[in-house]
Amino acid sequence: MDFATELLSSRRVRTQCAVMGVYEQSPLSGASATLDEALKGRLSRIIKQGDFTGRLGDTLLLPDLEGPIERVLLVGMGTRTTRSGRSYRRAVQAAAQALLKCSATDALMTLACDDYADIDVYYRARYTAEILLQSHYRIPNLKSARPPKAPALTHLRVLAATPADRAPMQRGLQHGAGIAAGAGLSKDLANLPANVCTPTYLGQIAKGLAKTHRRIRTRVLAQPELKRLKMGSFLSVTRGSAEPARLIVVEYRGGKPGAAPIALVGKGVTFDTGGISLKDPGAMDEMKFDMTGAASVLGTLKALAVVNAPINAVAIIAACENMPGSRATKPGDIVTSMAGLTIEVLNTDAEGRLILCDALTYSRRFKPAVVIDVATLTGACVIALGAHRSGLMSNDDALADDLLAAGQRASDPCWRMPLGEEYQEQLKSNFADLANIGGREAGAVTAACFLWKFVDGLKWAHLDIAGSAWVGGANKGSTGRPVALLVDYLLSRA
């Protein structure tokens, strides 16, 4: 879809579909009032007759109008007094759904013209592009029936209230499109089944990114190299699997040459059976999503490339399967991490931290300004925060604040949880430097505390996305989170 901005003039409007906001119990105003004039008062009559009340998220399509405005899509904006970034997104979502069912190939969106207290014109435009494009997302088609036809809409013009608004809007649209492209890649990878999306496949996709985007470089390390690097902890997880593990390194160079990059470390467990500490079978299929951390850091780099962000970033992905088998790591086995710390593997289902600790150690060679790891790490985080917020732990308050703010702005929020020596106690082992589990209490925190042991001297944050990465039930699928959060953070640093 291509996006443009446009200034309002009632006489020259020409579109297959004008998308117009209606507020509850308020007369038409701004862009809607101007378009009403162009339509000779038709909209005010519809509202006066009570056929459309403006309730938030309601839509009404008026088809087959005569003249240069061929259709009007009315969108309920709620009351003027309760409008917020949240209600704005709800309204855009409703508009996007209605546009999907409509055969217009171009539309003129007027919702971003109104002022909001908590969301500026850049974000109004960015959400518009992001939401429109995300509504066009389709799960990779592995069904044998003919796929539904693609949405008709290909051109979206977004109306600006003033000439000064056009530049930030244009930027917002471009960034929104980049985020949607990145989140789309992340969703595709996460939605694919584990027999397609293997560590090898993730490596190929990462190499593909380097082919499409000239600022991206990819290196894929195979098992012999991981052995040479002494990644004993990472390799202990893949022992039970016939699929070879990969360490995937993707660099995006958009900033000054030599400027320290932001490192994004992703958990890429393409399937997590639990290993010898086998999981319960209920919903085990969802463990194909256990590579969402990896998918989201790849998606984030793609987004940076699409918007040409002036920043350096590097994604480091530890990809493998966690399977039982005759060679699999057993509870009680002791492994040696790349950093030299020995780990007693008390539960083979706590595998994420085992692969991430070596990837975090590896990230040091890039002398990163900041390291952020992203992982579907603990069921405990799902219990603590549910689907709404990702868990955030950090050894740096300024970094934590920046990520919290980015999540808020991007509508992809997280919530800070603690780290602390007192929790470290739970990871003590009689036989090795540390154990890989810390008992039932504070499971999300002890998992983060395990990683914390490996990031001495680094500015580090950990995002536990176990609850936010996908939804179950009838709409089962990847959410594309936390690509928007990460891109927002990176753009704010650029």
The helix (H) or strand (E) run that includes residue 84 is none
Of positions 75, 153, 382, 448, contacts ligand BES by CB under 6 A: 382
Residue 305, binding choice from Mn ion, Zn ion, ligand BES, none, Cβ under 5 to 8 Å by partner class: none
129: nearest Cα among 5, 15, 8:
5
Distance CA 111, CA 121 (A): 11
State both tokens at 161.
Answer: 């209230």
Please tell me which residue in 166, 353, 409, 481 is annotated as part of the active site: 353
- The CB-of-132 to Mn ion minimum distance in angstroms stands at 36
Helix (H) or strand (E) holding 110: none
- H/E element, 461: strand 460-464
Could you give the C-alpha distances from 395 to 73, 370, 384, 400, in angstroms and in order?
A: 49, 11, 20, 8
Enter the tokens of residue 442: 């504070």
**Tokens in use for 209?**
């990114």
CB of 440 to ligand BES, least distance (A): 8
Which residues from 256-285 bind Zn ion, rule CB under 5 A?
269, 272
**Binding partner selected for residue 34 from ligand BES, Zn ion, Mn ion, none, CB under the kind-specific 5 to 8 Å limit:** none
Question: Residues 455 to 484: which contact ligand BES by CB under 6 A?
Answer: 466
Using rule CB under 6 A, residue 378 touches ligand BES: yes
At 239 the three-state DSSP class reads coil
DSSP, residue by residue, 43-55: HHHHHHTTS----
Q: What is the phi/psi pair of residue 402, to 5°?
A: -60, -40
- Taking residues 343 to 362 in sequence order and writing x for each that binds Zn ion by CB under 5 A, - otherwise, the string is ---------x----------
Looking at 66-74, 287-295, 298-306, 329-337, which segment touches Zn ion (CB under 5 A)? 287-295
For residues 348-358, one letter each, b for 16 or more C-beta atoms within 10 angstroms of the residue's C-beta and e for the rest, the string is bbbbbbbbbbb
**Strand segments (E) across 207-261:** 216-221, 246-253
Give me the least distance between CB of 274 and Mn ion, in Å please. Answer: 5
- Region near ligand BES per CB under 6 A, out of 5-13, 303-311, 377-385, 409-417: 377-385
By CB under 6 A, tell whether 349 contacts ligand BES. yes
User: Is 187 part of the annotated catalytic residue set?
Assistant: no
Which residues of this protein are in contact with Mn ion, per CB under 5 A?
A: 272, 349, 351
Give yes or no for a contact between 56 and 81, defined as CB atoms under 8 angstroms apart. no
Catalytic residue among 219, 230, 279, 459: 279
* 220 lies in the site for ligand BES, by CB under 6 A: no
Other CB atoms closer than 10 Å to residue 492's CB: what's the count?
Answer: 13
Min. distance of Cβ 370 from Mn ion in angstroms? 26
* Cβ 343 to Mn ion shortest distance, Å: 15
Whether 12 is catalytic is: no
Q: Which is nearer to ligand BES, 68 or 193 (CB)?
A: 193
Task: State the residue for tokens 């409008």.
Answer: 83
Subset of residues 287 to 326 that bind ligand BES, contact rule: CB under 6 A: 290
Interface with Zn ion (CB under 5 A): 269, 272, 290, 352
Residues with a known catalytic role:
279, 353
Interface with ligand BES (CB under 6 A): 272, 290, 347, 349-352, 376-380, 382, 437, 443, 466
